[in-house]
Every structure is written in structure tokens, then in C-alpha cells.
Chains A and B, each alone.
Chain A
Amino acid sequence: MKNIMAIFLKQISDTMKNKTVLIQFVMFPVLTVIMENCIELDNMPEHFFAKLFAVMFVGMAPLTSMASIIAEEKEKNTLRALMMSNVRPAEYLLGIGSYLFICCMAGTAVFAASCGYSGKELISFILIMAAGIILSETAGAVIGIASNDQMSATAISIPVMIVLSFLPMLSMFNETIGKVAKVFYSQQMSLMINGEQSTSGIIITLVNMLVLVAAFTVMYRKKGLE
């Protein structure tokens, strides 16, 4: 617990000075507030931007930050020094993961407020977002563990991020894309947030979770945190 806390606090002071990570957490919530307040179109679904950006946020911020934080620590050999101080890999990942989770939940609060959710609606929105954030963090961890430096982490994160965060948006305009996008948890999140809650959606999300955990396990066994 002490070690998780040390990593968590380290990450707070580090992110405050790391603009590329910081901007990811701020960009979508700020955009939401601006768009929701400035743009008014006919036939636009209610809180269109807040819901859209919430999904894009989940597909982007936790994933790319997790990957880049891990990859940077590997590249600069700071992770090594932590491991030599008896920080266990699980403690490290939990420290970073819980920090990112809290940051993303702060963003979630902005989206929820923009949508004006309350009561049951609010709770289900928060649960959907929380699940999405955890899934994205896991995907980010897989990428971070797979890559040896930040360059390769970015190279892998970008396409994954585009798939996860842009497909839900594109599928609003194109049915074929919509069908393909269905297999990804971010599209399921988007459907659920827009009120289409279904058992199949939950199953697909769980399958996504299983796949990611399996990928994580394989990658971790193969490369560890070295």
C-alpha cells in the first residue's frame, strides 16, 4: 500500500509538469463545455457532444497516458530503480492505474454535469465510464509493456486509440462501420450511454475485458516490466 501510494503521489507531481499527458485529460472536458454551450443545431440529439466526447475521452486519455508513462519509465530506466527498491510490478501498475482512474473520473464528472444527469442515470453513466476507463488502462498497459520506448508506444497507441475513439463517432454516420465497431467496448459504451442498454452489449464488453486481460498476461509474462 505504501508503495502504491508512493507511485501515485509521484505520478501527481510528474503529470503536473508533463503537458502532453495533462492535455489529454483537459482537452475533451473543455471541448465539451464549449461545444455544449455554443453549438445548437436542429435535429441534434440531446447532449450530443457531451456523450460523443465522453466516449472519445475514454478511448484516448487512459490508453495513451498509461502506455506513454510505462514506456517512458522503461526508456529512461527509472522503472528499474523502482523495482530495485522492491516496488512490485503490480504495485507500480496499481499506483499509475489508480492515479489515471481518478483523473479520468474528474473528466467524467464534467461530462455528467454537461448532460445534466442525476439519480439512476448518473450512476449508470459513471459505471459505464468507469468500466471503459479500466478497459482502456489495461489496453494502455499492454502497449506500455510491449514497447521499449516512448516512440514505439506512441506508434502502437495511435492506431488503437483511433479505432477505439473514432469508430463510435463514425458509426453514427455509416451503418457498416457501426456493425464493425460493435465488437469494441467503446462502441458498446457509446450505445449504452445513448440509452441502448442490452445484454449482448454487456457480454461484448466482458469479452473485451477477457481479451485484454489475456493480452496483458501474455505480454507481461513475455516482457515483464524490464
Chain B
Amino acid sequence: MNEMISITGISKSFGSKRVLDGISLQISSSEIFGLLGPSGAGKTTLIKIITGQLMQDGGTACVFDKDSRKLNGNDHRRLGIMMDNFGVYDRLSCYNNLKIFARIYGIRDDMIYSVLRKVGLESSAKSAAGKLSKGMKSRLRLARAFMTDPDILFLDEPTSGLDPVTADEIHKMILAEKERGKAVFLTTHTMSEAQKLCDNVGMLCDGHLIEYGAPDDICRKYDHQRMIRVHLKDGTETIIPHNRNGADKMCELISRGLTESIHTTEPDLCSVFMELTGKEISA
């Protein structure tokens, strides 16, 4: 595995408020990492530090084995960044918005169209960015991040406030990038998004990474009940212990053909976060 991002002991305070306190993690190529945390947890701050937009107080952040404070133009080209607050030029068309960055990066015009096609904005190439819907604006910001065909994508809440259909399309684009060997660092409030997309997630709370791992592993880890919930054909539900004692009962139900569906009772990421912090992670 190829480490694309490696951070150790990152700390950052604003005034007396410690936003990040000793954060460490690694992200390799073909990995989607999701940073989860409530509003104000410091997700954007961490992305800013890793991408060299903000200085940390302590610790080191490396991308491509290089200190993020020393990234040069060539390194920046290999990073596709979509911050939650990056704006677009409202008066310019989608095409012209991208054209600015194409000029900066020395990218050919046909690449602009291919990126617009990729994010599904081809037919709006000539529309003023200010007149786009929220979802289309997000696509445009995503297009800008895709422009240089970067090796790492930083996506700060890429689907926040979008309708499910658009969000789903963006998920597909993110997964396609992973298939092409890119590393993706995304932040989200949406647990289902993390569960669906991410190879690994980190939960950020009070400056610490309180849990890290593959979403399914985390959920299994906090499955204290270890029960199996069985919906029966008569419409009732029964809970069976997920152990040797429950096995006979389970076998019997199945062999008698009484089961409609079988579920485990492991929690979702939301409840895990709740259990760990006593806080709601929202939506």
C-alpha cells in the first residue's frame, strides 16, 4: 500500500480553544477516508492543515511524503481540493470559471469539456455560474477539483445540502476516482454516506480522533447486544441471542420456513458516535 497522506500528532488551537489535539492517521491510494464529526469539530481545519492552507501548532502532516508546509506548484497540481466555502465566479459561465484554472495549470481546452462532461454539466457550459442551482454549483466546484486529474481529492462536505439524486451521482464520481487509484479525503455529517463510500472513517470529537476503522468493523465492535432480529412470516418479530444458545432456535425457525427476514442488531455509525460522545452528529 502506498501512503498518500500521513499525519502525526497534529494540534491546532484558535486562541484558547484547542480544535485539534494530537491527530494521527494514514491514507493510501485507492482509499476513501471519511472524517466524521459534528459541526465545529475541526474537520475543515484539518483539511486546511493537510493542504497547506493553515499552519498547525504541532505535529507533522505529509502528502506524497512531503511536509505540507513545503508544497510547491507541482504538488498542488496533484491535489484536487473542494473546500466547503470555495466560491465560483457568479458572473462567468461554467466554462469560463474552469478556463481560469486551465490557464493557470496550462491545461488544454478539451480537458475542460471532458471535466464538465464528467460532472454532468456539459449542457450548462455556457450558463452563468451564479444562475446554477445549488447542486449544479457543487458539481462545478467538484469539476474544478477534478481539473488537474489529481492523485488526492480533498472533498469538504461534497454533498451537504444536496438532493439525494445529485448526492448519489457525486458518490458515483467519488467511487470512480477510487477505482482509478486516487486517494479521497472527505468530510461529512452524513453517516449513511460514510457507511456507503468510505473504506475507513475517523470520528472527530473534542479535538481527538475517538474512533478509527472500516465502518463495518466499527459497527461490529460496538455491537454489545450481539442479537439477531428475525421478522417472521406472521408479522411478529423475535430476538435471538447471536451465540451457540441461539443457534438451535434459529435453525428451527429457518427449517420450518417461518422466517421472513433476518437482521443483526449492530448499531450504525450514528449510534456509535452517540455512544462514544453522548453527542448527536446531526442528520
Contacts and interface: CB of A to CB of B under 8 A. Distances in A.
Q: Do A and B come from one complex?
A: yes
Contacts of B81: 84
Given A2-B104, A87-B104, A81 B87 contact: yes
A9 B88 CA distance: 16
B14 to A, nearest CB: 14
Interface in A74-128: 76-78, 80-87
Contacts of A80: 53, 83, 85-87
Contacts of A179: none
A10 interface: yes
A84 B88 contact: no
Interface string B86-119: 1111111000100111011110000000000000
Contacts of B91: 14, 17-18
A87 B101 CA distance: 10
Contact of B104 (A3, A14, A18): A3
Which bracket fits the contact residues of B? 20 to 34
Contacts of A82: 100, 104
Interface in A43-86: 76-78, 80-86
A105 B91 CA distance: 25
Given A3-B104, A6-B104, A84-B76, A14 B144 contact: no
Nearest to B105: A85
B56 interface: no
Interface in B3-20: none
A37 interface: no
Contact of B96 (A13, A76, A83): A13
B259 interface: no
B73 interface: yes
Given A7-B100, A86-B73, 9 more contacts: A10-B92, A10-B96, A76-B89, A76-B90, A77-B87, A78-B88, A84-B53, A85-B101, A85-B105
13 contacts: A9-B100, A10-B89, A10-B100, A14-B89, A76-B88, A77-B83, A80-B83, A80-B86, A80-B87, A81-B83, A85-B105, A86-B72, A86-B76
Top 8 nearest A-B pairs (CB, nearest first) are: A6-B103, A76-B87, A77-B87, A17-B91, A86-B73, A78-B87, A10-B100, A81-B86
